[in-house]
């Protein structure tokens, strides 16, 4: 078959097709474009698989150990950046956790009330401080009537009689527990916890963050 015959019999774009003709008719350009697209998709899937291998998930909280180290490879650095957007310290300076779900795996949602219960002596061990920050699903601070966007060991949290601490995470102020209230938006939200100058229990992975439990 001659080149003229091949051109005559080349497939035509189907009626109503929204794809550019160069992607339907096989040419060098179409092969290159489709190769780039396929390579990009495969690279993204591969990165997700590799990133998942670096992540530690316990009680609904996600964390990563070793972020911020100067010698980290590009895939590990990318996994850290995807999980914790923004500047990342080395683990000896700060360790980070984040969660979008409660103890049953359901997404955190402002129509429900939640409790984060730290048993006696169970607050994040550190040599500086820790903080728990609230954000909406788009990682923006949540406007609220008391202008509180986080709580920490410097917030004057009230302990229970046994020395445990309950942080009330909800949209409406909990009657009688306002001091330990972290206001939530009306929709989905996420939480971050940061421990600065973490103790050895955090660095070696023996410390576990408690689950966020729905109470109503």
Question: In this structure, what token pair is assigned to residue 105?
Answer: 């795996």
Question: Mind spelling out the 3-state secondary structure of the chain?
Answer: CCHHHHHHHCCCCCCCCCCCHHHHCCCHHHHHHHHHHHHHHHHHHHHHHHHHHHCEEECCEEECCCCCCCCCCHHHHHHHHHHCCCCCCCCCCEEEEEECECCCCCECECCCCEEEEECCCCCCCEEEEEEEEEEECCCCCCCCCCCCCEEECCCCCCECCCCCEEEEEECCCCCCCHHHEEECCCCEEEEEEEEEEECHHHHCCCCCCCCEEECC
Cβ–Cβ under 8 Å, residues 111 and 215: no
pLDDT for position 41:
67
Contact (CB, 8 A) for 100 and 192:
no
Instruction: Tell me which of 83-92, 177-186, 203-212 is least confident.
Output: 83-92
pTM for the whole thing? 0.71
Q: How high is the pLDDT of residue 40?
A: 65
User: Looking at residue 20, what is its pLDDT?
Assistant: 60
1 vs 148, more confident? 148
Predicted local distance difference test score (pLDDT) of residue 8: 46
Mean of pLDDT over the chain = 82
**pLDDT digit string (tens) for 85-126?**
666 778 889 998 999 999 999 999 999 999 999 999 999 999
What pLDDT, on the 0 to 100 scale, is given for residue 27?
A: 77
Rounded to an integer, the average pLDDT of 142-166 is 94
Q: d(Cα 169, Cα 112) in Å, to the nearest integer? A: 9
The dihedral through the CA atoms of 106, 94, 51, 141 has a sign that is positive
| Total count of residues recorded for the chain | 216
The four Cα atoms 46, 47, 48, 52 give a dihedral, to 10 degrees, of 110
- pLDDT beyond 60 at 3: no
pLDDT at 89 (0 to 100): 75
For the stretch 6-61, pLDDT in tens is 444 545 555 555 656 555 566 776 667 667 877 666 655 655 555 555 677 889 99
Q: Is the dihedral of CA 195, 197, 200, 205 positive or negative?
A: positive
């Amino acid at each position: 078959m001659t080149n003229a015959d091949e051109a005559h019999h080349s497939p035509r774009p189907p009626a109503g097709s929204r794809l550019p003709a160069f992607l339907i008719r096989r040419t060098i350009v179409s092969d290159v474009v489709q190769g780039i697209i396929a390579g990009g998709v495969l690279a993204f899937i591969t990165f997700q698989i590799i990133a998942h291998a670096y992540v530690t998930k316990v009680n609904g909280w996600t964390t990563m150990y070793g972020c911020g180290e100067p010698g980290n490879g590009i895939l590990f650095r990318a996994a850290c950046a995807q999980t914790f957007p923004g500047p990342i310290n080395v683990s000896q300076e700060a360790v980070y956790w984040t969660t979008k779900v409660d103890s049953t795996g359901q997404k955190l949602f402002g129509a429900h009330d939640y409790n984060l219960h730290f048993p006696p002596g169970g607050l994040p061990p550190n040599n500086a401080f820790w903080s728990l920050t609230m954000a909406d699903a788009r990682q923006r601070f949540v406007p609220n009537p008391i202008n509180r966007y986080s709580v920490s060991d410097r917030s004057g949290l009230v302990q229970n009689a046994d020395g445990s601490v309950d942080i009330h995470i909800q949209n409406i102020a909990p009657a009688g527990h306002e001091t330990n209230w972290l206001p939530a938006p009306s929709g989905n939200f996420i939480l971050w916890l940061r421990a600065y100058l973490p103790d050895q229990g955090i660095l070696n992975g023996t410390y576990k963050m408690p689950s966020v439990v729905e109470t109503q």
